[in-house]
């Protein structure tokens, strides 16, 4: 039932609309890091009609604030942060072309609706596996807002970065599906 895909960014709508909640995806190519503060700035730029620091079309945004790299490493530990804090910004980014988000934890209905409307996917990565996930990032470069420190926007080159589809373009939610299978009602 659950399928495994190997996808390279930027993602196309015909690819994202095939994915289903529970599918395993190994992502390769370029993804961009952004947390709360950077999301606010990106959405403000869109509102002002200004150019963004990266091309949103087909982009995958990773909710991560990495640890500082040790000498010789491209990046430190880099697992996902909790995604609900980006809920008020994500629909706008999906509307303007972004096709994927990587984080952990629940999203609100507006984000799920935007995934259906614009062909976006919410991927989950394993929270607290920052050492493991950081090793799948081969190159990292700050491209905007260096003053935000760990929250700066980074261009990340990843190879076979392991994620799971949580919210798909059909409105399914893996967290609800998984819990329903094991919840014992009293």
Partner 1 sequence: MREIAYDTVVKAVRDIIVHCGTDLPQDAYDALKQAMEEEKSLVSKEVLRQILENADIAKDEKRPLCQDTGLAVFFVKVGDEVKINGGLLKDAINQGTQQGYIDAYLRASTCEPFSRANLKDTVGYNLPAIIHFDIVAGDTIDIEYAAKGGGSENVSRATVLAPAAGMDGILQFVKQVISDAGPNPCPPITVGIGIGGTFEKAAISSKHALFRTLGSVNEDPQMAQFEERILNELNKLGIGAMGMGGTKTVLGVHIESNPCHIASLPVSVNVQCHSSRHAHITI
- CA pair distance 32, 23, nearest whole angstrom: 22
- CA pair distance 122, 166, nearest whole angstrom: 6
Closest separation between CB of residue 4 and partner 1, Å? 12
User: Tokens 């629940």 map to which residue?
Assistant: 106
Q: Which of 18, 88, 92, 126 binds partner 1 (CB under 8 A)?
A: 126
Q: Which of 6, 8, 44, 82 binds partner 1 (CB under 8 A)?
A: 82
The values of phi and psi at residue 92, to 5°, are -65, -45
**Residue 184 binding partner 1, by CB under 8 A:** yes
Q: Which of 6, 143, 171, 178 binds partner 1 (CB under 8 A)?
A: 178
**Residue 20 binding partner 1, by CB under 8 A:** no
Catalytic annotation, residues: 39
Judged by CB under 8 A, the stretch of 7-15, 49-57, 87-95, 101-109 that binds partner 1 is 101-109
Alpha carbon distances (Å) from 6 to 38, 70, 81, 186? 28, 29, 23, 41
Q: Which of 8, 82 has the CB closer to partner 1?
A: 82
Q: Which of 12, 67 has the CB closer to partner 1?
A: 67
- CA pair distance 156, 138, nearest whole angstrom: 7
- CA pair distance 110, 153, nearest whole angstrom: 24
Query: What's the DSSP call for residue 82?
Result: B
Residue 113 makes CB contacts below 8 A (sequence gap 6+) with: 91, 171
Q: Which of 129, 142, 155, 172 binds partner 1 (CB under 8 A)?
A: 129
**Residue 157 binding partner 1, by CB under 8 A:** no
Q: Which of 92, 126 has the CB closer to partner 1?
A: 126
Q: Which of 16, 81, 90, 136 binds partner 1 (CB under 8 A)?
A: 81
Cα-based torsion angle of the residue sequence 180, 114, 65, 72 in order, rounded to the nearest 10 degrees: 100
Binding residues for partner 1 (CB under 8 A): 22, 36-37, 64-70, 76-79, 81-82, 84, 104-106, 124, 126-135, 148-151, 162, 164, 174-175, 177-184, 186
């Amino acid at each position: 039932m659950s399928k495994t895909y190997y996808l390279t960014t930027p993602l196309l709508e015909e690819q994202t609309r095939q994915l289903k909640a529970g599918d395993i995806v190994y992502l390769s190519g370029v993804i961009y890091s952004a947390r709360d503060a950077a999301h606010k700035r990106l959405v403000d730029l869109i509102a002002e009609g200004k150019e963004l620091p990266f091309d949103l079309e087909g982009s995958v945004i990773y909710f991560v604030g990495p640890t500082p790299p040790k000498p010789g490493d491209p990046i430190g530990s880099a697992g996902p942060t909790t995604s609900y804090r980006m809920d008020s910004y994500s629909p706008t980014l999906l509307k303007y072309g972004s096709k994927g988000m990587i984080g952990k934890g629940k999203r609100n209905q507006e984000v799920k609706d935007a995934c259906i409307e614009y062909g976006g996917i919410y991927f989950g990565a394993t929270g607290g596996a920052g050492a493991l996930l950081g090793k799948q990032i081969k190159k990292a470069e700050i491209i905007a807002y260096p003053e935000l420190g760990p929250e700066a926007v980074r261009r990340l080159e990843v190879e076979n970065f392991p994620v799971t589809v949580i919210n798909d373009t059909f409105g399914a939610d893996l967290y609800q599906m998984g819990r329903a299978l094991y919840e014992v009602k009293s």
